[in-house]
Amino acid sequence: MRLNKKEWFTEAFENQTAFSVRYSKKLHASQSQFQQIEVFQTTAMGRVLSLDGCFMVTEKDSFVYHEMITHPTMAMVSGAESVLVIGGGDGGTITELVKYPSLKSITLCEIDAEVVSTCREFFPEISRGLTDPRVRVVCSDGAAYVKQFTAEFDVILIDSTDPVGPGKALYELEFYQSVKRALKEGGAATFQTESPIMMSEVFGSTVRNLRLVFGDEMAQPYLCVIPSYPGAMWSFTICSVDKKDFSSPSCCLSLDYIEGLQYYGSDVQKAAFVLPQFVRRLIA
């Protein structure tokens, strides 16, 4: 079947592969200071957020990303009270974090205020955590913002875009050093580290650089499946300032008060750190 460009939104990856979804209506289109923002209504994926022509959020599968960047890290830091999220203007990661009553302070640092306002309007269920009174939204460059802090946060989550445009600074060695310095003793940070299949060079170099900063045993990648992202297999890398067994949650993560989870569980955490052989070779 040939795709009618007027009915399909397509993300082309490096002019080699593409992922398309048929849409019934374009709900929003704007050009912010930093990027093109579009929202589509689709049958297969629900509403879709696109930034500069790339899938960022879909109502169908965003729960995988947001649960897997949040809960594996929170499970490793007992008694966490303060969290910083860099990027993630859609608010989905914040919505997962506000499920923890122990958290006293949650800061979202997003460079593009228009992404935040757009998602509040068109993705109210995903961004609903932004209304929590513990949440503070700072519209600023994340790499510059985190430099201000020393031993300030129990958890830092880097909910970044690809290493292009405003997201490029979030893949530099200096940024990783700033994140480590901003963590409290016993704290942990998790970084979005791309697809080991489609972005193998970026994935491999990012993990190796994180290990230069945190140490080989203190920076471990883990995997999940996100259908709307290139290659579907997606990675995060959790880093700590002290040694942890990342595959075994060290604090008591009660699924009783973490309601509505669709992907994450303690068994998923254990399995996510079991890496295929080709992924191990990429970071060797």
The CATH number that applies at residue 12 is 2.30.140.10
Return the pLDDT at 255. Answer: 57
Rounded Cα distance between 194 and 37, Å, is: 21
Which of 58, 80, 99 is the C-terminal boundary of a domain? 58
Rounded Cα distance between 205 and 203, Å, is: 6
Report yes or no on 2 lying in a domain: no
The CATH number that applies at residue 239 is 3.40.50.150
Report yes or no on 77 lying in a domain: yes
Looking at the fold, whether 131 and 19 belong to one and the same domain comes out as no
Looking at the fold, whether 151 and 254 belong to one and the same domain comes out as yes
Looking at the fold, whether 29 and 116 belong to one and the same domain comes out as no
Report yes or no on 254 lying in a domain: yes
Looking at the fold, whether 80 and 209 belong to one and the same domain comes out as yes
CB burial string 102-128: b at 16+ within 10 A, e below: ebeebbbbbbbbbbbbbbbebbeebbe
Residues designated catalytic: 159
For residue 32, give its domain range: 8-58
pLDDT in tens, the chain (284 residues): 567 677 999 998 888 888 999 999 999 999 999 999 999 999 999 999 999 999 999 999 999 999 999 999 999 998 899 999 999 999 999 999 999 999 999 999 999 999 999 999 999 999 999 999 999 999 999 999 999 999 999 999 999 877 776 667 788 999 999 999 999 999 999 999 999 999 999 999 999 999 999 999 999 999 999 999 999 999 999 999 987 777 776 554 555 557 789 999 888 999 999 999 999 999 98
Report yes or no on 193 lying in a domain: yes
> What is the DSSP secondary structure assignment for residue 242, as one 8-state letter?
S
Report yes or no on 237 lying in a domain: yes
Return the pLDDT at 253. Answer: 54
Looking at the fold, whether 126 and 227 belong to one and the same domain comes out as yes
Report yes or no on 3 lying in a domain: no
Looking at the fold, whether 221 and 101 belong to one and the same domain comes out as yes
Number of domains in the chain: 2
Looking at the fold, whether 100 and 75 belong to one and the same domain comes out as yes
Report yes or no on 198 lying in a domain: yes
Looking at the fold, whether 143 and 272 belong to one and the same domain comes out as yes
Return the pLDDT at 252. Answer: 47
